[in-house]
Structure formats: C-alpha cells, structure tokens
C-alpha cells in the first residue's frame, strides 16, 4: 500500500482529570494543619481557569504546588497551567488566576513546523487551527518526527492522535 500516512499533533487537557485534581487539592487543604484557620480556596470553572485565593503569597505557592502534584498523579501535565499574576485581594489576602492552555498557539505551531522541516525528512506539516497535521509516505519518517518532538521541550504538552 503506497498511500500516505498521517498523524495530528494536539495539546488538549483532560478537563475531568483537572477537576478531580482540584477536588483532591481542596480536600488536602482542608485536612492539613498548616492551612487551619487561614484563607485557602481553590475554584475551577470547568472550562479554562482555576482561581486560587490564599492568606499570603507563600500559602498560594503551596496550594499551587499541591495542585501540580495532584495533576501529575492523575496523568495530567502541569504544562497545561499558565500561571497568572499574583494580585492583592481584600483583607490582606492574595489571589491568582491560572489559565488552562488548550490547543497549540500559532507561534508555537510555527516553531514546531519549522523544527519538523529542519529534520529533512520527507514529511509535510500543516497548521489547521489549533492542531498540526503531519503526513508522509513512510511510517518510519512519521515515527522519527514523533520521537524528535518528544525529545524537545516546546513549553506545552504535545499529544499525538489520529495516527493512520
């Protein structure tokens, strides 16, 4: 069969697993001694952001570390989190809005496509909205592209789907 083969490069978080990680974080915060009697709240809107409200900046960073650990345990990469700016809130407390990255941004997509072209393999890469489709005549070339991309860090979590 001399057809062309292809796969898609995507970056889509599992929102249900993120929700579970947030719930586990809330449970751990409620049980920990160092968070007793202080402001420590985590709220997930179900789509694209997590709001963290804490007594001080140290507690906020601790909550964020707990959240990242819970995400890793649930198989979700912390690279999906885009930390915002820490803001002052009422009563001397602080808050932070953490965005959840979904899809591949245009600049990152161009960087990934350029990296694929630099391999000099006989494959074509095209950007389609927030995914990248890589196609070629050889399955071995496609496997080589996947291995090369896994070895590089683009600052986002890459997943490979629709391998045909």
Distance, CA of 47 to CA of 98 (rounded, Å): 12
Residue 1's pLDDT band, with cuts at 50, 70 and 90, is very low
CATH code that applies to domain 5-12+103-161: 3.30.70.860
Give 31-77 pLDDT, tens digit per residue: 989 888 888 889 999 888 999 999 988 999 999 999 999 999 999 98
The CATH fold of domain 15-100: Alpha-Beta Plaits (3.30.70)
Please report which residue ranges of the chain form alpha helices under DSSP H. Answer: 15-31, 57-73, 106-118, 139-151
At residue 22, the 3 state secondary structure works out as helix
| Domain 15-100 in the same topology as domain 5-12+103-161 | yes
Task: Report yes or no on whether pTM surpasses 0.75.
Answer: yes
Q: What is the mean pLDDT of the chain?
A: 89
Question: Where do the domains of the chain lie?
Answer: 5-12+103-161, 15-100
At residue 85, the 3 state secondary structure works out as coil
């Amino acid at each position: 069969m001399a057809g062309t083969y292809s796969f898609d490069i995507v970056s889509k978080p599992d929102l249900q697993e993120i929700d579970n990680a947030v719930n586990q974080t809330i449970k751990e915060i409620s049980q920990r001694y160092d968070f007793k009697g202080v402001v420590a709240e985590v709220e997930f809107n179900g789509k694209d952001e997590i709001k963290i409200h804490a007594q001080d900046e140290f507690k906020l960073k601790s909550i964020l570390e707990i959240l990242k650990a819970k995400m890793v345990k649930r198989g979700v990469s912390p690279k999906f989190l885009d930390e915002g700016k820490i803001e002052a809130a009422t009563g001397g407390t602080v808050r932070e809005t953490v965005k959840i990255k979904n899809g591949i941004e245009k600049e990152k997509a161009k960087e990934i496509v350029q990296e694929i072209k630099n391999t000099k393999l006989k494959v074509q890469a095209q950007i389609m909205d927030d995914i990248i489709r890589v196609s070629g005549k050889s399955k071995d070339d496609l496997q080589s592209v996947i291995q090369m991309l896994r070895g590089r860090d683009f600052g986002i979590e890459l997943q490979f789907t629709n391998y045909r």
